[in-house]
Structure 1
Amino acid sequence: MATPPPPHSTGPHAWPSQPIGPYAPSPGPYVAPPPANSYPPPHGAYASPYPPGPYAPQAGAPACHICGAMPAVPATVRGHQGIVVIMRFLSLRGPFCRDCGLSTVRDMSAKTLWQGWWGPLSVIITPITLLANLATWDRIRKLAAPTGGFRTALAPGRPLTRRPEALLFLVPMLLVAVAIPALIVTGLLVGDGSTPTLPVGACVRNEGDWANQDLQITDCSAPSAQYKVTRRLEKAGSTCADGDYLADPKYGPDGATISCLEPIH
């Protein structure tokens, strides 16, 4: 039996270097195979839900912790409860998408409006809490519509000004508006209860007896003026002029110095 010629031999009986027939490769440039562990770009159900644009999510961008949607912004929504002598400080941290954030701000602020006033310090803390939520609301409302969450975002609900709780905000404000003028009028009518100091040269009238003096400063030209303060006995051994009266020491500048009262009429 004859031995076949080697593959690279030449001559009429040489083996072809390339296969001949229907299995011959088509001529053309060489195409490198894809690298290992490479995958085709996502398409169909696995395509990104975010359209290209200014609000497309970036790598590492936060997602809403409630629904998983983007875009989202880190924020803290606060609430306050005043319970006579104790208080509760509430907070809920983000990130929040636009809808979940608006819903959270409105709900916690509405509860603060009717739960936050019932304590002496809470009257001051509640407005501060509402102002802090107002700043958070302004950041959240500027976000684009949420997309791509793993659940439906919270419904924002009605604005705070259209909720019944907003009317409760007017109650403490009305009380403050009424209480301040009432305190001023009461102070003017009743006085501060302190004993006035009689300056030298002032005129007074006595609305009590000499055992229980009630000296009131008045205009020297007024018909009710009875005495004029002439001097104070500040030095030991000093005395008033003949005919003068002695004012009670409680009317002195230090609560002990005696003043001399000269009759006007």
Structure 2
Amino acid sequence: MATPPQPQQQGAGPYNPYGAPVPQQGGPGGPWHAGPQPHGAYGTYGAYGAHPEPGRYGCRLCGAWPAAHATVRGHQGLIVLMRFLSLRGPFCRDCGLASYRRMSSDTLWQGWWGPLSLFITPVTLLMNLGPRASFRKLAPPTGGYRPALDPGKPLWRRGPVLLFLTPVLLVLLGIPALIGIALLVGDDTPTLSVGQCVADEWDGKHLRLRVRDCGSPKAEYRVSKRPKTSADGCAPLDRITGSDYGAMGSTLACLTPLPK
């Protein structure tokens, strides 16, 4: 004969795994007194964690508090398509920093693969700085129903960030280096003025122009014109020297042969 079901107490509902009492600050039992808690938004372990008292929110991942309401974002560029990712809080300090670092790190190597993603990715990374600042202001997490996430290495020490920063640093450092080399090496043609006299002289490796006194027998040419561009041209028998793309600007000069 089947055993009849036990009568339920008046007012008791079906078993609710999230209806267990949670620690609450204050009260007659001390700061960690676990007394009966009302069922509802602030008295249960719900999808957003433990709520020790009305108006205080627990981390959605571990239930610890204090927690900050913030949304961490990510982006994936898929050449033609793209994905916008987001993870909404509240988060405690450790879970929030772990989520920020993971999603930002993934965005740094997944977010550039598309025309629009080239512009969306830096905006996404900048938007994550606000939640990061909120998480860093929080006290260490306490009272959770599971351990908080390990924040791990700082973002700037992670592999994707180093891969991203390396070409950026090379570009930023390479531009001044190229300018410096151009200034040091530059164009071998001296800066000439109209009326000066020059001569070709061998320096052991190359034939170079050197300024000479116009009365010297070594003088071979007189500077008759300083065109701004090569399109301006020189007289038919003149020799043109220099360039109009040097590091210091145009070094063009029209050299008229001196009579011998």
Q: Normalised by the size of structure 2, how large is the TM-score?
A: 0.48
